[in-house]
């Protein structure tokens, strides 16, 4: 099976790329010099978008992206859960409830597009999988889609903190992915990601998924100009332009 063949190639990030994550602050600064490339991007029509931060970060890490999407006339919302401490199952239910709260509070009838950075993308995918009526689409940024934390630079630290077995957790992640996601899915990844192995950040489970490569450190994916361009173009797509290939359900 193609999925299992690709799963054999999963690996943690290279050490040299992990060290290069120290350059992320410079990448943040450099991104300011390329913002002129964002002019002329298609604008939204107040469609709702919710942003989920990565492991051990909070809404402030998503604030530049939120301001950008607001400038393009989208209704951009924080995920409402503060710092992401890795409590995935708890956050899935709470994020779904927060979407409902925002729909009611702001008189929104459309489902939300979810954009998640790193672990925030994993949580966003599960919300889409379990609450399909609430989610229009999912975009992930360097998210450990395969293997959970096993193929990340933080694997051992996370396993110790959460007292989990990485191999058993990988099996649980595969089990979750046996049920396909019905919505359009885009996984944005970088081969120079020093936190999440790039192979694990690609969606190999859903045949309608788009995997788009960019050049960035993991810690700068959320402010990368190319990433913002991709997000803007995806959000502006008409429904008939979205990939609609049936999702793959593993046997």
Going along the chain from its start, the domains and CATH numbers come out as 2-30+46-235 (3.40.50.1820)
Query: Tens digit of pLDDT for each residue in 44-87?
Result: 999 999 999 999 999 999 999 999 999 999 999 999 999 999 99
C-alpha dihedral (149, 151, 152, 156), degrees to nearest 10:
60
Quote the mean pLDDT of the chain: 93
Q: pLDDT category, 249, cuts 50, 70, 90?
A: very low
What is the token pair recorded at 151? 């193929």
What is the token pair recorded at 1? 């099976």
Query: Tens digit of pLDDT for each residue in 199-242?
Result: 999 999 999 999 999 999 999 999 999 999 999 999 999 877 77
* CA atoms of 97 and 36, how far apart (whole Å): 37
pLDDT of the residue at 238:
82
CA atoms within 13 A on the CB side of 55: 22
Query: Tens digit of pLDDT for each residue in 167-180?
Result: 999 999 999 999 99
Query: What is the share, in percent, of the chain residues with pLDDT greater than 70?
Result: 94
Name, in order, each residue with C-beta under 8 angstroms of 225's C-beta and a sequence gap of 6 or more.
31, 34, 35, 37, 38
> Considering the entire predicted model, what is its pTM?
0.93
pLDDT of the residue at 229:
97
pLDDT of the residue at 247:
45
């Amino acid at each position: 099976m193609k999925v299992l063949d690709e799963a054999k190639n999963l690996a943690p990030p290279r050490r040299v790329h992990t060290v290069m994550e120290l350059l992320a602050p410079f990448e943040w600064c450099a991104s300011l010099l390329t913002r002129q490339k964002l002019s002329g991007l298609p604008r939204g029509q107040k469609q709702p978008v919710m942003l989920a931060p990565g492991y051990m970060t909070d809404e402030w890490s998503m604030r530049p992206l939120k301001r950008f999407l607001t400038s393009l006339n989208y209704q951009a919302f924080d995920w409402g859960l503060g710092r992401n401490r890795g409590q995935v199952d708890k956050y899935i239910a709470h994020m779904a409830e927060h979407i409902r709260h925002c729909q009611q509070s702001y008189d929104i009838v459309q489902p939300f597009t979810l954009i998640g950075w790193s672990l925030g993308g994993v949580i966003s995918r599960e919300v889409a999988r379990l609450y399909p009526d609430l989610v229009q689409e999912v975009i992930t940024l360097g998210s450990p889609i395969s293997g959970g934390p096993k193929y990340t630079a933080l694997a051992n630290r996370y396993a110790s903190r959460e007292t989990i077995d990485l191999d058993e957790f990988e099996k649980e992640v595969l089990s979750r992915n046996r049920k396909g996601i019905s919505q359009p899915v885009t996984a944005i990844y970088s081969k120079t990601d020093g936190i999440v192995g790039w192979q694990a950040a690609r969606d190999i489970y859903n045949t309608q998924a788009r995997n788009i490569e960019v050049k960035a450190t993991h810690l700068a994916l959320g402010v990368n100009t190319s990433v913002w361009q991709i997000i803007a173009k995806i959000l502006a797509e008409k429904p008939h332009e979205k990939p609609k290939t049936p999702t793959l359900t593993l046997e």
